[in-house]
Amino acid sequence: MFVALLVLSLSPSLPRARAADVDPGLERLGALAVQEGGRVMPLEGYARRFAVDVTGRTRWSSNGPEGFTKRSSLELLLDCMFSGQKVLHAKVITIDDKPFKTKLGLDPERRFYSPVELSGCAGLTELLMEFEKARQSDPNASPTKDQRKALDINSAANRVAEFATGMTLAIIPSQPGQAFRHASAQAADPGAEAVQAAFKEVGQLYSAGQPILPAVEKLEKAINSMGALSENEARNVRLELFYDKHDPWRMTAYCYGLALVFFGFSRLVLKNIMVTLALAATAIGIGEHVLGVALRVIILDRAPVSNTFESLLWMGLVAIAIGLVFQLINKRKGYYLFGGVGAAFISVLFAGLVPLADRTNSLPAVLRSNFWLIIHVLTIVASYGVLAVSAVLGHAYLIKDVILNKRDDASRFRSAALIVQTYRTIQVGLILLTAGTILGGVWAAESWGRFWGWDPKETWALISILVYFAVLHARYVQWIKDFGLAASAILGMVVIVWTFYGVNYVMATGLHSYGFGSGGEVWVGLWAILELLFLAVCWVRYRAQGATAISKAQPAA
């Protein structure tokens, strides 16, 4: 039941499918292709990214920005294109950080601000000027956390202002490999006057609240008369539209969550039926998981580990794969599949906490070496997935053997199996982690001219390796028993999360700047605190059980 509540409580952080538009012309318009950030995407996808840049979400169901609540991302984009001067004075830019708003001199209780009032904010201007001075003295200077927030806010205001002043869209296909030509209702590249006229008609109908389908059809004809998408581009646009509407990650999270619930109930009632339902939910979840990763690989034409969002999804897919394979090898006493489902479920949930703007970002130059991206990053992120399975198995052991204190013969047999499987997954994960780190050094030698430089990311990768080596050695020489191994698997995962997340999102320093970001700190911090509290409770209960056992073993006076 806890898992089910967790799904319901965190599900708003996962992407939601867009509700059907009343005007079919909007859907038809959203299917038009535009070129942005080095790739071709549907206008609907472009609008979603625009809405995230400006408001922080693709859609607000309630209490949202002025004029945007319960409306689609495409409508916000069209408002800016056709009524831009009005939007400049609308409260559409979201700022949630109250201390930061106080520092800027803004009302901390307000959530939304207009581009015009932000342009006159002295505190915001001061932060931007501080960063500009730092860049003048050092072109490679990185912004502070407050400066990064100020840059994001300024960028959001500029996005609205650009469309309000007649910015054009790259919406007219050219020859394969060439840049699209631009057009809007206010201007167009030479020879694209018909596209501009059709755009203007779309704007007039949209602003008047009339159906825009007739004008959209004219716009399509005008664009098609000047150029056409290649077969691959047209396919990717269709796939991205399907990806956004189908929303595979929501389905994946629900299926994995249900599988865990059914696995739990299988220990209480109707074992065979519950296990069958759990396997069915797992199979559907795996199908959705594979579908989502495959669509991203095809659409974006890159390995599925180019940012934090993709890495979390890949980590979960590896976790479920290793759990499935190991379960097939250990059919009777294996808990690997349960551990894989648990790790995959958590990975997908945390992927939903990654800021939407960071999910489809363009690939940095340092990551464009597909060979090293596949060899190094896939390997090291795969190790995180395997080690996550060991942490789930460690939780299962502590809950069953320490919290619930089940000590009958059948429970002892299952506990022994859990410990063995925790140990084996740590071994496999450590091999992958070590190999991935070494391969990263080879990549660094090729890209930066040195194998190792004690960059924060490199340093914490080494710390993670040493932590798990220490755990395996301590278990081998019997310095730690079953409880110690299970607890160490959880503590090791805390170190991994810091290496993976903390260095990128909290420290945000070093040469691995392509991985930096912001967001989710509260959730990750809350998870770490809960893990430490859980281990503390387990330790107290474990010691109490040990004292009770000694007391029972002593003869009565």
Show the tokens assigned to 347: 């990975």
Domain boundaries, the chain: 17-234, 247-360+369-508
Work out whether strand 169-172 and strand 112-113 pair parallel, antiparallel, or are unpaired: unpaired
Residue type, 324: L
Confidence (pLDDT) at 5 = 38
Whose CA is closest to 72, among 229, 255, 206, 265?
A: 206
Residue type, 499: T
Show the tokens assigned to 217: 């059809």
Query: Which residue ranges of the chain lie beneath pLDDT 70?
Result: 1-22, 331-334, 354-370, 372-373, 406-414, 447-448, 505-521, 546-557
3-state secondary structure of 170: strand
| Residue pair 317/384 in contact by the 8 Å Cβ criterion | no
Residue type, 163: F
State how far the Cα of 98 lies from the Cα of 80, in Å rounded to an integer: 27
Task: Write the pLDDT tens digit of every residue in 376-389.
Answer: 888 888 898 889 88
Confidence (pLDDT) at 334 = 62
Whose CA is closest to 183, among 173, 168, 202, 197?
A: 168
**Half-sphere exposure in the Cβ direction for 82 (13 Å, CA):** 18
State how far the Cα of 420 lies from the Cα of 410, in Å rounded to an integer: 16
State how far the Cα of 418 lies from the Cα of 405, in Å rounded to an integer: 15
DSSP 222-267: HHHTT----HHHHHHHHHHHHHHHH-HHHHHHHHHHHHHHHHHHTT
State how far the Cα of 279 lies from the Cα of 340, in Å rounded to an integer: 12
Give 34's strand partners: 41
State how far the Cα of 95 lies from the Cα of 149, in Å rounded to an integer: 9
- Angle between helix axes 231-246 and 43-55 (nearest 10 degrees) is 50
CB atoms within 10 A of CB 5: 10
Show the tokens assigned to 442: 């080879």
Whose CA is closest to 422, among 495, 342, 536?
A: 342
Eight-state DSSP code of residue 513: G
State how far the Cα of 500 lies from the Cα of 304, in Å rounded to an integer: 16
Confidence (pLDDT) at 7 = 44
Give, in order, the Cα–Cα distances in Å from 491 to each of 254, 464, 482, 542.
27, 11, 14, 17
State how far the Cα of 259 lies from the Cα of 261, in Å rounded to an integer: 5
**Half-sphere exposure in the Cβ direction for 207 (13 Å, CA):** 15
Show the tokens assigned to 50: 């625009």
Residue type, 477: V
Confidence (pLDDT) at 553 = 44
Whose CA is closest to 29, among 185, 187, 135?
A: 185
Work out whether strand 39-42 and strand 112-113 pair parallel, antiparallel, or are unpaired: unpaired
Show the tokens assigned to 91: 């409260």
